[in-house]
């Protein structure tokens, strides 16, 4: 997981919803006007903001590492086709967006992010999407990921005893079936506690 870096900078205190919107705006802007000066400005802004938030340079560079070879290939292709300016533009734009996105994650607790998301989804209500249900689904998803990993480890152990640890089908089928059974139990348990997403809990 990308760690949350605690702090009290203006970047940390900015409401999560506003940070996400700013990120979307920056991305749209950079793709609508593919200009080198804009991309470099965004890169500078990312560097400046991370400095302001007190994020170590090492952590920011770590955001770019998974992208390093994609960036290298992109730059080489662009260099060969359109000259160095186009290559620099693509690289600078991608790096700026990834850094800005990383900055949002590094300066926002995931609980705050989920709450902002649930609030930001209230416009979906007329379309028949209940934000409270989305909130429940998000919370369940985050809880299910470690549970799935634990069940997968158990099943792998059981299949190793049968000499089947290399068969993906023999690993996945029992995991999914067990999770489906568990889901029915969880749904029954939630209903048994009179869960009513239509009633506003606040």
Partner 1 sequence: MSTRDIVFVALFAALTAALGLFPPVTLPMVGVPITAQSMGPMLAGTIAGSRRGGAALALFVLLVCAGLPLMAGGRGGLGIVMGPGGGFVLMWPVAAFVIGVLVERSLRSLSAWKEALILVLGGVVLTYAVGIPWIAAVARIDLAKAALGSAWFLPGDAAKVVLVVLIARAVRRAYPTLQAR
Residues that bind partner 1 (CB under 8 A): 1-2, 20, 23-24, 27, 31, 34, 66-67, 70, 74, 77-78, 81-82, 86, 90, 94, 97-98, 100-102, 104-105, 108, 110, 113-114, 117, 133-134, 136-138, 140-142, 144-145, 147-149, 152, 168-169, 172-173, 176-177, 179-181, 183-184, 186-187, 190-191, 195
**Least separation, in Å, of the C-beta of 79 and partner 1?**
12
Q: Between 161 and 180, whose beta carbon lies closer to partner 1?
A: 180
**Least separation, in Å, of the C-beta of 86 and partner 1?**
6
The string of DSSP letters for the chain reads: -PPP----SHHHHS-HHHHHHHHHHHHHHHHHS--HHHHHHHHHHHHHHHHHHT--HHHHHHHHGGGHHHHHHHHHHHHHHH-HHHHHHHHHHHHHHHHHHHHHHHHS-HHHHHHHHHHHTGGGGGGT--HHHHHHHHHHHHHHHHHHHHHHHHHHHHHHHTT-TT-HHHHHHHHHHHHHHHHHHHHHHHHHTT--TTS---
Token code pair at residue 71: 């960036």
Q: Between 48 and 73, whose beta carbon lies closer to partner 1?
A: 73
**Least separation, in Å, of the C-beta of 184 and partner 1?**
7
**Least separation, in Å, of the C-beta of 159 and partner 1?**
14
Q: Between 25 and 44, whose beta carbon lies closer to partner 1?
A: 25
**Least separation, in Å, of the C-beta of 34 and partner 1?**
7
């Amino acid at each position: 997981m990308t760690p949350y870096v605690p702090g009290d900078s203006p970047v940390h205190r900015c409401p999560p919803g506003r940070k996400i919107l700013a990120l979307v705006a920056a991305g749209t802007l950079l793709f609508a006007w593919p200009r080198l000066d804009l991309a470099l400005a965004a890169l500078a802004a990312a560097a400046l903001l991370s400095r302001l938030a007190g994020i170590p340079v090492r952590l920011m560079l770590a955001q770019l590492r998974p992208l390093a070879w994609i960036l290298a290939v992109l730059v080489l292709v662009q260099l060969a086709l359109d000259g160095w300016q186009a290559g620099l533009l693509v690289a600078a734009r991608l790096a700026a967006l990834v850094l800005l996105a990383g900055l949002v994650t590094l300066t926002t607790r995931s609980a705050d992010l989920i709450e902002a998301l649930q609030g930001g989804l209230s416009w979906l209500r007329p379309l028949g999407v209940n934000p409270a249900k989305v909130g429940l689904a998000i919370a369940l998803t985050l809880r299910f990921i470690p549970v799935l990993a634990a069940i997968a480890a158990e099943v792998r152990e059981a299949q190793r005893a049968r000499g089947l640890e290399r068969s993906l089908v023999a690993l996945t089928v029992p995991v999914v079936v067990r999770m489906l059974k568990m889901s029915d139990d969880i749904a029954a348990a939630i209903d048994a506690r009179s869960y009513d997403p239509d009633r506003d809990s606040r």
